[in-house]
Amino acid sequence: MTTSEVHMNTTTGSTIDDLLRLRDDVGVLSFYVGIDPALEARPRPPWQIQLEKDTRAIRKRLRAEHRHARRVAVEERLTALGPVLAELVDSSGSGRGRALFAGVASGEMQSFNLQVELGTEAILADVPHVFPLLRAGDGRPRAVVLLGRDSVRVIEARLGRAQELRKLDVEAVVYDRAEKKGPAASNPFRGQKSVAQRERWARHVEADHRRRLAAAAEEIGRLVRARGWTLGVVAGDPRGARLLAETLERAGVPAELVDRDLVDATPAHALAELAPVLAAAAERRDAALVRSAIDAAAAGGHGASGLKDVLAALEASRVERLLLDGDRPPTGPVDSDGPRDPLFADRLVLRAHDTGARVTVVGGEASAAFERAGVAALLRR
């Protein structure tokens, strides 16, 4: 396979759902790179050294491979991926965390650039190594709404990257010379008329601003239905931002309200400023999901807790949402009497996806909600 063929088979704009559908008869190569800005000036930064080490280990294991055809196919694929891997470790590229997944036989390749940290590793297996990517984020889009006096900007965040979707005008229409100045205030009566005129005009401007803000809220409601957001944050004057946050909430998107003026920020800067707010909201949501699943399991309801019960529910296709501890991934054997599988957590994720379940890898302080369970699930009703 030539280098040009590798690039032609790249999937641009990949989502985690796309990745979870990746299968290959010969195997999948999974590469992760974490860029540390403090070390990027080194001639050979540590992430490059680690990726080369892991790639050599894959080649070494291949030499013990009994299936000659598979050994040759993987070796050819690694060679063809050389220029792409060089780009992956290049610190001048975009994203602090990068991931690349390549099917050996299919030639399919999916890549992700994140603004969040990832570890560096390379793995060859029969399935993609998706767990680190899910630990960094669930891949579900989130809404970032920036409110200014004259405009509302709607930004979508996914896996640490930001894209502006809409800029909505909410400035009140003020026609030229529409505000009459009124007579001079030397006449007390006329002065009172002038003040009343200005007050009426101010009310007219404010009412028009609110009408436009309400129209912006309607557009945001339409975007919720089209984009599938799971969390949101609205930044701006609370008097107007509250209306936009309530719009998200009514559409089923939990939204945080932040009293900050970021309407003129770039999408990347706005997301960087508001990412801690979204992360804290995600941790609260995830901890609540884990507690709900564990409580439901204890009460004999629609929940499962612990590896044995969750595996049984997965096999019966009863899982609606699989919850995994990102800080302590579950481990287990491929079969009951076999060795422990290093990709056991990935297989749980793929099994859940194949049965239509959603997957949430819970990290940070929220992982404490698992207590000793390590894995839990909300079950279909």
- Locate 19 and state its tokens: 């990745």
Q: What's the pLDDT tens digit per position in 39-62?
A: 887 889 999 999 999 999 999 999
Q: How confident is the model at residue 94 (pLDDT cuts 50, 70, 90)?
A: confident
* Rounded distance between C-alpha atoms, residue 322 and residue 293, angstroms: 10
Q: Does residue 373 register a pLDDT over 50? A: yes
Angle between helices 82-89 and 68-80 (to 10 degrees): 50
pTM of this structure: 0.81
Q: Taking residues 164-169, what's their average pLDDT? A: 95
The residue among 122 and 170 whose pLDDT is bigger is: 122
CA-nearest of 348, 356, 358 to 130 is: 348
* Rounded distance between C-alpha atoms, residue 217 and residue 205, angstroms: 18
Q: How confident is the model at residue 364 (pLDDT cuts 50, 70, 90)?
A: confident
Q: Does residue 320 register a pLDDT over 90? A: yes
The residue among 379 and 96 whose pLDDT is bigger is: 379
What pLDDT is recorded for position 199?
74
Q: Does residue 269 register a pLDDT over 90? A: yes
The residue among 160 and 122 whose pLDDT is bigger is: 122
Residues sharing a CB contact under 8 Å with residue 106, sequence separation 6 or more, in sequence order: 9, 24, 25
Residues sharing a CB contact under 8 Å with residue 365, sequence separation 6 or more, in sequence order: 283, 287
* Rounded distance between C-alpha atoms, residue 62 and residue 275, angstroms: 42
What pLDDT is recorded for position 337?
67
Q: How confident is the model at residue 138 (pLDDT cuts 50, 70, 90)?
A: confident
Q: Taking residues 310-338, what's their average pLDDT? A: 88
Query: What is the distance between the terminal CA atoms of the chain, rounded to a whole angstrom?
Result: 48
Q: How confident is the model at residue 192 (pLDDT cuts 50, 70, 90)?
A: low
